[in-house]
Amino acid sequence: MQKTVVAGVLSVIMAVAVGNVAAQVAGSTTIGVSPDEVKTLARGWSAKKQILGKPVYNDQDERVGEVEDLIVAPDKSLSYAILGVGGFLGLGTYHVAVPVSQFTSGDGKIVLPGATKDTLKAMPPFIYSQ
C-alpha cells in the first residue's frame, strides 16, 4: 500500500514539474532538462552503474584495484580515475589517480594493462584537497 501511495505522490510531483517547465516565461533560464531530454538520458551511459565501484584488472586478469571516483577537468573532459588499491572494506585503501586514456575494456571488464597492486601502491597517493 505504501509503495502505491509513494508512486502516486511521485507521479503528481513529476506532472507538476513538467507542467512548470512548459509554463516558463520566454527568455528565462530553464533549470534541469526537458521531458524529451530525460528520455535520451535514460538510454545513455551511467558512470555510477558502469564504472564506479567496479573492479580494475590488469592484462593478466588479476584484480588490481577498484574505481572509486572520476575526475572531470575544468574543460569538462573526463581526465582521471581514482583507484582504491588494497585495503579491506574501505579501511587502509591506497588511492591513486590514473589517466583514463590508460584504461581499456575487455570481456566487460575495466583493464589497466601492465598494472599490479605493487606498481599502483608505488605511485604518489591521491589525496582530496579540502
pLDDT, residue 8, reads 34
pLDDT, residue 64, reads 96
In the chain, the number of structural domains is 2
Task: Say whether both 13 and 71 belong to one domain.
Answer: no
Compute how many other C-beta atoms are within 10 angstroms of the C-beta atom of residue 123: 15
d(CA 35, CA 13): 14
Query: Which among 121, 44, 43 has a CA at the least distance from the CA of 87?
Result: 121
Task: Say whether both 78 and 113 belong to one domain.
Answer: yes
Task: Say whether both 16 and 54 belong to one domain.
Answer: no
pLDDT, residue 81, reads 94
Task: Say whether both 67 and 111 belong to one domain.
Answer: yes
Do residues 114 and 102 make contact, with C-beta atoms less than 8 angstroms apart? no
d(CA 81, CA 73): 11
- Verdict on whether the full-model pTM lies above 0.85: no
pLDDT, residue 7, reads 33
Mean pLDDT by 10 residues, the chain (130 residues): 34 38 56 80 75 93 94 86 82 89 89 95 89
d(CA 25, CA 111): 49
In terms of residue numbers, what domain contains 113? Answer: 47-121
